[in-house]
């Protein structure tokens, strides 16, 4: 079987071309998943690049991204497949005079099958990346729907038989860990925890994604965000909020953040009134920390 990635280093360089900056841990797991043919559970706080990882892996490997967005109440008919009842009814009406057993066989054939994302990924003949996004939103019983697919790469359809994948798709399951995933699910997957990036990587993410930003501002943004994350907050700023804040500063023509600009724009970074108050107080108490040496 051909592999998508030469080695761990090339996972990083390929992803960087899609402006996704992976650390060693992320690149290592993606490499292993490809080699072992195993799905990855990607867990971590909001906005740390879990969904983006799957999208970028699809992009750089030239695969089609098939996404199943999970929510409470998602069932088999939306995740796997359902029968096209309307079309079946029509067929029954138009063939009312025919032999019933013949019609019945006919009704449960390909022609009347509506493939949903999981089945679509299994049946795909072109390379695909399957993203099962926010799997922790499913009820735990519904998780069972995924088990056959994740371990055998197949789907059993009672009326049709078993559909076996002709290729092993790369599968990403993301979770915000609002609940524990089942043991059965975990056993079938590799596990990747994506935390907030370290200072250097966040600085690089800002530099690569925010057009027109200068090095000093990118550095300052990454440092301030890091110190804000150390406060005791209801919701820490995510990477997407770091990027929004950096873009805001660039738009405002600011090239150095002082406590006044930080205070005026902190609502881009934080979304709770109490969190904003804490950060503003921190800026006022330690204005020097906003401007690190050498800037
Ligand atoms: N390592 C990274 N390299 C480049 N961009 C990143 C990285 N991590 C996060 N981002 C940026 O942060 C944004 C948010 O990422 P994403 O939507 O993947 O978060 P998430 O972890 O799926 O969050 P949620 O749990 O809320 O769904 C992305 O649009 C991307 O631009
Ligand atoms: Mg996401």
Pair 188, 208 in one domain:
no
Nearest to 33 by CA among 147, 136, 129: 129
pLDDT in the model for residue 38: 96
Q: What is the CA radius of gyration of the chain?
A: 24
Dihedral of CA atoms 96, 99, 104, 105 in degrees, nearest 10, equals -130
pLDDT in the model for residue 53: 98
Pair 28, 150 in one domain:
yes
Nearest to 274 by CA among 230, 224, 234: 234
Pair 70, 120 in one domain:
yes
Pocket-testing residue among 59, 136, 239, 245, ligand 1, by greatest number of atoms within 8 A of Cβ: 239
Pair 134, 250 in one domain:
no
Hey, what are 282's tokens?
């921190």
Residue nearest to atom 20 of ligand 1 (CA): 47
Pair 127, 227 in one domain:
no
Secondary structure of residue 24 in the 3-state scheme: helix
Q: Which parts of the chain sit beneath pLDDT 50?
A: 294-295
Secondary structure of residue 193 in the 3-state scheme: strand
| Ligand with smallest separation from the Cα of 21 | 1
Pair 188, 269 in one domain:
no
Pair 130, 61 in one domain:
yes
Q: Identify the domain containing residue 261 by its residue range.
A: 199-284
Pair 120, 106 in one domain:
no
Q: Which atom of ligand 1 is nearest to the CA of 23?
A: 1
- Determine the Cα–Cα distance for residues 163 and 134; give it in Å rounded to an integer: 25
Pair 31, 96 in one domain:
no
Which residue among 193, 217, 243 closes a domain?
193
> Looking at the domain assignment, is residue 69 inside a domain?
yes
Does ligand 1 lie within 6 Å of residue 205's CB atom? yes
Angle at 255 between CA 223 and CA 241, to 5 degrees: 50
Residue nearest to atom 14 of ligand 1 (CA): 47
Q: What are the tens digits of pLDDT across the range 227-245?
A: 999 999 999 999 999 999 9
Which residue among 193, 215, 242 closes a domain?
193
Q: What are the tens digits of pLDDT across the range 56-106?
A: 999 999 999 999 999 999 999 999 999 999 999 998 888 877 888 888 878
> Looking at the domain assignment, is residue 243 inside a domain?
yes
Pair 28, 137 in one domain:
yes
Asked whether the beta carbons of 267 and 290 are under 8 A apart, the reply is: no
DSSP letters spanning 244-272: HHHHHHHHTT-SS--HHHHHHHGGGT--S
Nearest to 163 by CA among 65, 80, 285, 252: 80
pLDDT in the model for residue 292: 55
Write out 114-141 in H/E/C secondary structure.
Answer: EECHHHHHHHCCCCEEEEEECHHHCCCC
pLDDT in the model for residue 286: 85
pLDDT in the model for residue 94: 87
């Amino acid at each position: 079987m051909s592999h998508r990635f030469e080695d761990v280093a090339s996972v990083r360089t390929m992803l960087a071309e899609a402006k996704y900056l992976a650390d060693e841990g992320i690149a290592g797991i993606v490499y292993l998943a490809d080699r072992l043919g195993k799905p990855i559970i990607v867990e971590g706080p909001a906005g740390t690049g879990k969904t983006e990882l799957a999208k970028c892996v699809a992009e750089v490997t030239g695969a089609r991204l098939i996404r199943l967005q999970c929510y409470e109440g998602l069932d088999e008919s939306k995740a796997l497949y359902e029968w096209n009842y309307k079309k079946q009814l029509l067929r029954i009406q138009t063939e009312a005079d025919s032999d019933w057993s013949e019609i019945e066989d006919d009704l449960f054939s390909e022609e009347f099958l509506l493939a949903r994302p999981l089945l679509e990924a299994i049946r795909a003949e072109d390379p695909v990346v399957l993203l099962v996004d926010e799997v922790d939103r499913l009820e735990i019983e519904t998780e069972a729907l995924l088990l056959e697919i994740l371990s055998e790469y197949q789907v059993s359809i009672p009326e049709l038989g078993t559909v076996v994948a002709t290729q092993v798709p790369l599968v990403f399951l993301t979770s915000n860990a609002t609940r524990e995933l089942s043991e059965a699910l975990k056993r079938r997957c590799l596990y990747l925890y994506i935390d907030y990036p370290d200072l250097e990587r966040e600085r690089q993410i800002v530099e690569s994604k925010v057009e027109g930003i200068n090095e000093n501002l990118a550095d300052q943004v990454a440092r301030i965000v890091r110190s804000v994350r150390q406060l005791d907050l209801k919701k820490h700023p995510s990477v997407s909020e770091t990027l929004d804040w950096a873009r805001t500063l660039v738009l405002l023509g600011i090239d150095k953040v002082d406590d006044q600009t930080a205070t005026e724009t902190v609502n881009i970074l934080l979304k709770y009134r109490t969190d904003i108050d804490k950060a503003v107080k921190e800026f006022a108490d330690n204005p020097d920390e906003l401007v690190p040496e050498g800037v």
